Amino acid sequence: MPDEYSRYLQSLNDKQREAACSDISIPLMIVAGPGSGKTSTMVGRVLMLLNEGVSPSNILAMTFTTAAASEMRERICAVAGKARAKELTISTFHSFSLQLCRSHAEKIERTAEFLIYGHGQQRRAIIEAVRLLENEKSGQQHNSCKSSGIENSNGVRHFKDRSKKWQKFVIQAKASGRTPEDCRKMGDQIGAEVLGNYNDILRSCNALDYHDLIICSVKLLTEYDAVYKECQDSWKAIIVDEFQDTSATQYRLLRILASHNHITVVGDDDQSIFSFNGADISGFDSFRKDFTSYKEIRLVRNYRSTRSIVEAASCLIQNNTKRCPSKNFLSENAYGSKITIKECYNEDAQCAFVVDKILEIASNSTAGSSSYGNIAILYRRQVTGRVFQTTLRNRKIPFNLHGVAFYRKKVVRAIIAMLKTTLPTCDDSPYRKVFKALLPLEKEEKKRVIEHVEKITECRKCSFISAACDIFNAKISGTFKRSQLTQGRKVLQTLEMISRLVRRKYLLEQRAVIDVDGGKLLNEDNDVRSVLEYLLDDVSDFLSTQSTDRKEKIETGEEKGSVSLLNSFIDYITERERENFRSRRRDNENSVTLTTIHQSKGLEWDTVFIVKANETEIPLLHEFNGAATENGTSLEEERRLLYVAMSRARQKLFILYVTVDSNWQMLQPSRFLKEIPDHLREIQAEVTRNDLKTTHQVIAKGTERFSMDLPSKKQSIEADMVQNNFPDAQDGASKETIESVEACNGSNFLKRFGVEERS
Ligand code: ATP
Ligand code: MG
């Protein structure tokens, strides 16, 4: 055995080593808490397999997110070297299935270039499916301008509202593998029809959604012996990390792939946080039932975090009722510092606190160590990350774009959409997307322009883009202002230029060319240019994941610029787009990580800030998105989410919440914070100078916003402020401010100072 391998295996504890070295022919399940070395054990298992002579190209490691996949690849790389790591298939369920579906597209009634519908496109198809059903019912003719509801924006909105509900239905049905026929058998006639219509629409558009990828893979494996045999020959050993997040259909896929029983799964039921996407922890039970000769190993020691963090996280999760009962969890590490729970006035104050702390940590770190790289800011929703991006950028603190809404940027979406337009397809939605993204008009104006183009598209039954061309090149007299016409025309020109650029396939052939052309083309627009640069990084990353074989072909020109390569690149980008994931840039390793909690799975940092831990975020009380109902199971999922976030920290954990939102509404701290025992946390809720400065700004803004009327309680506020060291509380100007703020009926900051709302 190579020295590095044996050194690695020696570094594991007995249980971990037992798991890593156990016989491949026995199905293995590891259930253990966060930081207990599950992923480390998987890495050990891969090394063992390689050592036993299993070819790296016969090993399939499945993870749930792209972030987790690249984490695993990096860890294997560090021991086994880049060359071997590259030969392994470390893939998410989706990218694995996508490849399978592309190779056998004709068997699933698609062509190899089929499109993948993301959330938005799925929603649009669902609206159409529901509309079709209603039109059938009312006997109206589908497709005429009238019945499409396009001229009536209320109608569209009405459809959209209900489509949310239907989208949830479709996702759940697909994740659990229900067909329209199954719905019918269950007595759900309408559900069956919507699902059926939706499937028909996707078929006619040569598209699949993410759940279809898994469903179709299962279909390919069960209905086509040749495909099954091909997979059996390819994948001699299957390893699955984060098993708790697999859906019922994903489990079926695994079950078939692993009919040779050479499967290892690791997971933690307490970290299941993707149920809104169909994840189903009953996979553990199914595994026990289906792989009868299985062996189960538990790992109990947490190596990652200080004892305070481990104990606090366990106390939190013990409030969940639905969990694997005998799971223990302990830490032999020192207690370390307590968890800081910090109250901030608003998001600006929160951001200021975090940034100051980051600078403090950086200034205390020894020279040469990657201080920023050991810090992460975690949040529930992307939108919370925005203020951090801006502030970190202004303060010149490097941060990486991992998990930042890069792929949500309009220009990025536009360029990706443009790439997609190079694929033969009968759907012109990418053009629509680009057009919308690039049109630089006010929201209302833009809406009107788009609606008009859509109306023409619908009435003339032509493509969106030809309708747009006709309008803006003035073949049809429109009702637009001159400026709107000019903008429309400009967008069409840009569109045409990007399209030409992409069609010439420079993107993959010559970085330099797109660099120059792209720069020239969009000279005025720095944003577009920097986006192109980032995308070029993705091109390099993408090429680095390609097999040596294929890379050779690319280099020798055999595959230069071919559609299939472009296709794989688009798949690669699309998956990242879906997950909103960007890998760490190599030159950016010493950077603070900004990411959502969902994307932080499996990762770890010395210092972690969980920001905006408020009610409204964790738990996210939302009607459709995994609805955290008061007592329902989803409330437990919300608790798991905080648990995942807390258990990312090695040394120091900060949990922050804010007291007012940007609309001056009072916000409550997350109910889960009370579940962290007192002796493990320190609460910083006192009013500090910095907070007061912010309050000052808040008050000033409040003055702008509300009408004034002289209050009755100004003295008590003043007294409070003076007592709390409010710096200028006694000068005349700020007294006025206080008065005016107090005058705002129901103003929230008054509550901060113990002032009752006036009735
Ligand atoms: P998660 O549930 O968050 O995915 P995990 O169970 O996969 O966590 P790992 O990421 O594998 O845990 O390990 C957590 C940390 O503990 C890593 O820094 C790893 O290097 C360290 N670690 C794991 N096993 C050992 C060990 N036997 N000795 C020392 N450190 C270990
Ligand atoms: Mg892990």
**ipTM of this predicted structure:** 0.99
> Cα of 340 to ligand 2 centre, how many Å?
25
**Nearest atom, ligand 1, residue 13 CA:** 27
**pLDDT for res 724:** 47
pLDDT higher than 70, residue 620: yes
**pLDDT for res 408:** 62
> Cα of 217 to ligand 2 centre, how many Å?
26
Residues with CB under 6 A from ligand 1: 11-13, 16, 32, 34-40, 268, 271, 303-304, 602, 604, 647
**pLDDT for res 727:** 42
- Report the 10 Å Cβ neighbour count for 673: 20
Question: Residue 300: nearest ligand to its CA?
Answer: 1
Q: Are 398 and 590 in contact (CB under 8 A)?
A: yes
Place of tokens 């008054």: 750
SS (H, E, C) 332-383: CCCCCCCEEEEEECCHHHHHHHHHHHHHHHHHHCCCCCCCHHHEEEEECCHH
**pLDDT for res 254:** 96
> Cα of 478 to ligand 2 centre, how many Å?
58
Q: Known binding site for ATP: residues?
A: 32-39
Question: Residue 41: nearest ligand to its CA?
Answer: 1
pLDDT higher than 70, residue 351: yes
**Candidate from 40, 64, 297 with most ligand 1 atoms within 8 A of CB, to mutate:** 40
pLDDT higher than 50, residue 747: no
pLDDT higher than 60, residue 722: no
DSSP state of 612: -
Residues 724-743: what's their mean pLDDT? 44
pLDDT higher than 90, residue 323: no
> Cα of 85 to ligand 2 centre, how many Å?
18
Residues 526-554: what's their mean pLDDT? 59
**Candidate from 63, 303, 330, 603 with most ligand 1 atoms within 8 A of CB, to mutate:** 303
Question: Residue 606: nearest ligand to its CA?
Answer: 1
Place of tokens 């016969």: 58
**pLDDT for res 726:** 44
pLDDT higher than 80, residue 518: no
* Protein residue with its CA nearest to atom 30 in ligand 1: 303
Q: Describe the strand order of the beta sheet including 681-684 as a list of residue ranges.
A: 399-400, 592-596, 375-379, 605-610, 649-658, 339-344, 681-684
Residues 349-357: what's their mean pLDDT? 93
Judged by average pLDDT, the poorest of 228-242, 339-353, 578-592 is 578-592
**Candidate from 14, 39, 306 with most ligand 1 atoms within 8 A of CB, to mutate:** 39
Give 622's pLDDT tier (boundaries 50, 70, 90): low
The predicted-structure confidence for 459-473, as pLDDT tens digits, reads as follows: 888 888 788 888 887
**pLDDT for res 385:** 87
DSSP state of 605: E
* Protein residue with its CA nearest to atom 8 in ligand 1: 35
Q: Name the nearest CA neighbour of 638 among 608, 597, 674.
A: 597
Give 130's pLDDT tier (boundaries 50, 70, 90): confident
Percentage of the chain beyond pLDDT 70 is 67
SS (H, E, C) 456-482: HHHHHCCCHHHHHHHHHCCCCCCCCCH
> Cα of 735 to ligand 1 centre, how many Å?
56
- The tokens for 590 are 């010493």
Place of tokens 């219509």: 197
**Nearest atom, ligand 1, residue 33 CA:** 2
Residues 172-191: what's their mean pLDDT? 89
pLDDT higher than 70, residue 643: yes
Give 492's pLDDT tier (boundaries 50, 70, 90): confident
The predicted-structure confidence for 558-576, as pLDDT tens digits, reads as follows: 554 445 666 677 777 777 6
The predicted-structure confidence for 376-411, as pLDDT tens digits, reads as follows: 999 998 889 888 988 888 888 888 755 445 666 666
Give 585's pLDDT tier (boundaries 50, 70, 90): very low
Phi/psi for 651 (5° steps) reads -110, -45
pLDDT higher than 90, residue 339: yes
Question: Residue 12: nearest ligand to its CA?
Answer: 1
Q: Are 93 and 66 in contact (CB under 8 A)?
A: no
**pLDDT for res 42:** 94
Residues 151-161: what's their mean pLDDT? 54
> Cα of 14 to ligand 1 centre, how many Å?
14
Question: Residue 36: nearest ligand to its CA?
Answer: 1
**Candidate from 29, 304, 324 with most ligand 1 atoms within 8 A of CB, to mutate:** 304
* Protein residue with its CA nearest to atom 21 in ligand 1: 303
- Report the 10 Å Cβ neighbour count for 500: 12
**pLDDT for res 678:** 92
**Nearest atom, ligand 1, residue 36 CA:** 6
Using CA atoms, how far apart are residues 400 and 594, in angstroms rounded to an integer?
A: 7
> Cα of 42 to ligand 1 centre, how many Å?
10
pLDDT higher than 90, residue 304: yes
Q: Are 368 and 625 in contact (CB under 8 A)?
A: no
Using CA atoms, how far apart are residues 141 and 163, in angstroms rounded to an integer?
A: 21
Q: Known binding site: residues?
A: 32-39
Between 626 and 378, residue with greater pLDDT: 378
- Report the 10 Å Cβ neighbour count for 744: 21
> Cα of 298 to ligand 1 centre, how many Å?
14
* Protein residue with its CA nearest to atom 24 in ligand 1: 37
> Cα of 8 to ligand 1 centre, how many Å?
13
148 burial class (0-12, 13-18, 19+ CB within 10 angstroms)?
A: buried
**pLDDT for res 128:** 86
> Cα of 448 to ligand 1 centre, how many Å?
54
* Protein residue with its CA nearest to atom 29 in ligand 1: 303
Phi/psi for 342 (5° steps) reads -120, 125
Question: Residue 30: nearest ligand to its CA?
Answer: 1
- Does pTM surpass 0.80? no
* Distance from the first to the final alpha carbon of the chain: 78
Residues 122-139: what's their mean pLDDT? 82
- The tokens for 199 are 């499937």
**Nearest atom, ligand 1, residue 644 CA:** 3
Using CA atoms, how far apart are residues 715 and 693, in angstroms rounded to an integer?
A: 20
Using CA atoms, how far apart are residues 644 and 449, in angstroms rounded to an integer?
A: 45
**pLDDT for res 495:** 67
- Report the 10 Å Cβ neighbour count for 565: 20
The amino acid that residue 677 corresponds to is P
Note the residue count of the chain.
759
**pLDDT for res 124:** 84
Give 590's pLDDT tier (boundaries 50, 70, 90): confident
CA distances from 428 to 15, 431, 464 (A): 55, 6, 7
Q: Are 436 and 120 in contact (CB under 8 A)?
A: no
The predicted-structure confidence for 645-675, as pLDDT tens digits, reads as follows: 999 999 999 999 998 777 667 788 899 999 9
